[in-house]
Chain A
Amino acid sequence: MSTHDPHSDVVVHGEGELPDRFDDPGLHEHKPRQADVDPKVAKRVERQVLFLFTLSILGTIGVVWAYFALPPGETPDSMRTSNVVLGVCLALSLLGIGIGGNHYIKVLMSNREYVEERHEQRSSDETREIAVQMLKDGAQDSGLSRRGALVGAGLTALALFPLAIVVPLIGNVGEDWNVRKFKHTMWKKGTRLATDPQGRPIKASDVTIGDVWHVIPDGLNELEHGKLDEKAKAIVLLVRLDPRDLKSDQSPAGETWGYDGIVAYSKVCTHVGCPVALYEQQTHHLLCPCHQSTFDVADACKVVFGPAKRPLPQLPITVDDEGYLVAQSDFHEPVGPSFWERATK
């Protein structure tokens, strides 16, 4: 079993004639099964196996029948029926064969155990010697040992050639590689805040205290290209609080980024980017359903719990002449999850 010293500390001394270890008593005596000695049992098992194989045949017929007779149709009920009948018949077809066959093997097939010798994995010393000699002969024949420069050039060529494939691949795979796009969204001065997903502009007067609106930039739905890419960055959550409850927001001194208790924050979690979609009216907390980062809307969307570090960036808003909510500018920092050069210019 192992090369360890089989001696044991706990051997009681003075019993010198006893061996150190017990001996393997050898294989169990082979005991016949019921079906081996009683032909009636064997016959019964045969019938059971026959029944299971027949069940399989019926299952297959059932699948073909259900395929024609039970189309999925147009209602959830007909779809469910079709799926259940097909699935159960297929299961019968397979399990009939599987269980029947295994039952036969287990009960009727000979269960005599055989013993085979194992051999060590390693090759014999002789084989090893021959193998090494063969490699030496091969190296000799190749004549490479005398041509160092040639070997070096060959290896260099081999090492470099993958570049011929990798460079074009890497070059193309990341589109334009312009990662600065992470830092901007389609919000800009005067972009109206619109409802998600309809794209209807929102008037400040429509927003009552306690309301929470899912917002996209006006014009997003009309984009020809990259609509989802832009939406992934531009989604905003609009909340109106009683101005007395609003402890702080992110506007720098001298600016007002909110409007009469209405504040807009990026909906993209600063942890790994899930939409922070759950708002709790009583506590003014925003909860990310993915990893439970919790942000306090009443207090500049600071993190109060969870794996996010940074507050959700605020979108500076105001109202235009017609009373619609509009952005003062883009976000003043990149939205969404952190990345290495996030805070650089």
Chain B
Amino acid sequence: MSELKTPPSGGAKAAAATADYLDQRTGVGNAVKFFARKVFPDHWSFFLGEIALYSFVTLLISGVFLTLFFVPSMSEVTYPTEGVWATMRGVEMSEAFSSTLRLSFEVRGGLLMRQIHHWAALVFMAAIVVHMMRVFFTGAFRKPREINWVVGFVLLILGLAAGFSGYSLPDDVLSGNGLRITDGVIKAIPIIGSYMSYFVFGGEFPGHDLIPRLFTVHILLVPGLILALIGLHLFLMVMHKHTQYPGSGRKNTNVVGYPAVPVYAGKLLFNFFVVFGVIALMAGTMTINPVWNYGPYDPSPVSAGAQPDWYMLFLEGALRLMPGATEVMIGPYTLSLNVIIPAMIVPGILFTALAAYPFLEAFATGDKSEHHVLDRPRNRPFRTAFGVALLVAFFILVLAGSNDLIATHFHLSINDITWTFRVFLFLGPWIAFVVTKRICLGLQRKDRELVLHGHETGRIVRFASGEYIEVHKPLDAHERWLRVQHEAVRPLEIEPAEDSRGVRRKGYKADRMRQRLSQLFYEDRVEPVTPAEVAAAHGHDEHDEQHTAIEGHGQPAGVGASAHGAEPDGETAPDGRNS
């Protein structure tokens, strides 16, 4: 500790003493030195992962509250005749359900905490998915972040597990039917299905073990794993330093942003309050999962228009779309492909594609270098189109999971809707792929157009010769840099199949397949504009105002030295955006 020049105040003295005490025992000074002014790039889309984190913290806080009042037991009780919820008086129910009613109606603030917990779960999953989309479409998963992508992917799966196990705990008729569906899906597993069902339910469905088991899964196993993996996720994030969007001065070798103390740490802190606050507002004003209207679980009743939470809808939709004819017999044994395909194979394909994509792309790109500057989605047409196609498939399944609501709201035949979705599940992703890829290439061409010819100004000039032209205003160096900074990745080039003496080489087939994959990714591309092309473009536009401008830009390297020098004297002020 350095000596202070002015006599320190009492508070400062105490703080210094505490810091000294801690540092001597933990060396915390090193950590502070490492973290305090660490630079974090700033962008609204980096907030998405934070939303997931804070809704998880909200889940922990509200969840602890709920565990103090919830009884995870399937013992039969009768709702007291003097109970506060009139419609349930005298009804037989499990203790889980009756304690849910008690904590909703008799524990002050209990209903609010339940609704906070449920809304936070929905926000948590939504934030994870949108955060993952951001990471995917900007290529933030590239080396060295592939492992962190996988960690995030596992967190997504754990989020589903947490949501599903928690959703089933109140033991109401809606979630009970969800469990019954789960049981049906488990039984469909070939050979061991019946035993798996016994494994999960501790005997026949519904049995007496499920709620206590789900409770342990929901409050111990899954959140424990989520916490540990969040720790790993953030550790890797700090170790890699955050990615940044492309723009002037943002290089692969630097990180531009705000220091942890005070800006980033402050935002972290206050964003938690914003997320928790918004969830509290939702919980205060919007009812969610009113189990007291559904009633306790009973295997007999079910209501139409029963949907699971949104993140499970895609599975429900897949189950609804599959035609029943696909159940087959192998000798005396039943193979329920009508369940296995939608409940296991389709989600298996979607999730495997998602988890494996970074490795697939790295393989097709043949790229071994680190990437810290994000891609603009348009500059990676295949990836963007692939992601959109995957999302469209997911979205169609979500809609299919709501086909009964679509039918009743729009007065359509449920059979027609189902058939439409069956067709679109196969067509939709392809259409989405082609359209998205075209849009990306179009946007890239638009970028080229802008760099080559500048902004339209709307100013029409007539020359002495009678010729009319519209004056274009060249881009300033920052605007231009954003549009030319990327690399257009090319398909891999491989050695020919035969060497100069005509001998076929080993491994050509594998190389050729890799090249094919690479061509699929990168055959269609638009190259960024080069200085020579700009010069050439202005060679044509003799009359253009740009003509003079390009003279000034003759040495782009020199232009880069000063932002002022890059400002063109145009009609319209350039918008200074860089992203």
Contacts and interface: CB of A to CB of B under 8 A. Distances in A.
A275 interface: yes
Given A25-B478, A174-B198, A337 B187 contact: yes
A336 B536 CA distance: 74
Interface in B143-182: 144, 177, 180-181
Interface range, B side: 35 or more
A339 B535 contact: no
A32 to B, nearest CB: 14
A115 to B, nearest CB: 5
A72 B37 contact: no
Interface stretch (A156-164, A254-262, A288-296, A322-330): A288-296
B530 A8 contact: yes
B258 A114 contact: yes
A174 B195 contact: yes
A1 B487 contact: yes
Given A18-B532, A102-B270, A278-B304, A114 B181 contact: no
Interface in B283-329: 283-285, 297-306, 316, 319-327, 329
A167 interface: no
B253 A117 contact: yes
A309 B563 contact: no
Interface in A1-21: 1-6, 8-12, 15, 18-21
B247 to A, nearest CB: 8
Nearest to B54: A98
Nearest to A275: B302
Nearest to B483: A22
Given A25-B563, A232-B204, A292-B418, A182 B194 contact: yes
B206 interface: yes
Contact of A87 (B281, B298, B556): B281
A285 B187 CA distance: 26
Interface stretch (A105-113, A137-145, A201-209, A240-248): A105-113
B530 A10 contact: yes
B367 interface: yes
Contact of A337 (B184, B195, B302): B184
Contacts of A268: 299
B395 interface: no
B177 A274 contact: yes
A228 B463 CA distance: 91
Interface in A253-301: 267-269, 271-275, 277-278, 289-293
Contacts of A306: 320, 323-324, 418
Contact of A79 (B38, B111, B527): B111
A77 interface: no
Interface range, A side: 35 or more
B278 A91 contact: yes
B485 A94 contact: no
Given A290-B181, A344-B332, A1 B486 contact: yes
B203 interface: yes
B514 interface: no
B10 interface: no
B256 A235 contact: no
A21 B324 contact: no
A174 B556 CA distance: 74
Contacts of B106: 72
Chain A interface mostly helix, strand, loop or mixed? Answer: loop
Contacts of A87: 112, 115, 280-281, 283-285
A83 B111 contact: yes
Contact of B336 (A22, A82, A337): A337
A177 B205 contact: no
Contact of A28 (B76, B333, B478): B478
Nearest to A59: B277
A240 B527 CA distance: 73
A44 interface: no
Nearest to A23: B560
B333 A88 contact: no
Given A228-B299, A289-B404, A338 B334 contact: yes
A115 B195 contact: no
A343 B329 contact: yes
B10 to A, nearest CB: 26
A292 B320 contact: yes
Contacts of A110: 263
A273 to B, nearest CB: 4
A125 interface: no
A115 B403 contact: no
A310 B327 contact: yes
Interface stretch (B127-135, B214-222, B223-231, B370-378): B370-378
B563 A28 contact: yes
Interface string B183-223: 11101111111110111001111110100000000000000
B280 A175 contact: no
Contacts of A226: 204
B334 A22 contact: no
B506 interface: no
Contacts of B259: 114
B339 A98 contact: no
A47 interface: no
Contacts of B197: 179, 339
A109 B277 contact: no
B277 A197 contact: no
B338 interface: yes
Contacts of B109: 67, 86
Contacts of B252: 1, 118
A340 B190 CA distance: 6
Contact of A105 (B189, B191, B270, B303): B270
* Complex A-B, nearest 3 residue pairs according to Cβ-Cβ distance, in ascending order: A87-B284, A272-B184, A98-B273
Interface of A: 1-6, 8-12, 15, 18-29, 67, 71-74, 79, 82-88, 90-95, 97-102, 104-105, 109-111, 113-118, 120-121, 170, 173-177, 179, 181-182, 196-197, 214, 216, 226-229, 231-233, 235, 267-269, 271-275, 277-278, 289-293, 303, 305-310, 336-344
17 contacts: A8-B530, A25-B477, A25-B563, A28-B478, A90-B112, A90-B277, A92-B277, A110-B263, A111-B258, A118-B252, A228-B299, A229-B205, A290-B181, A307-B319, A338-B334, A340-B194, A343-B332
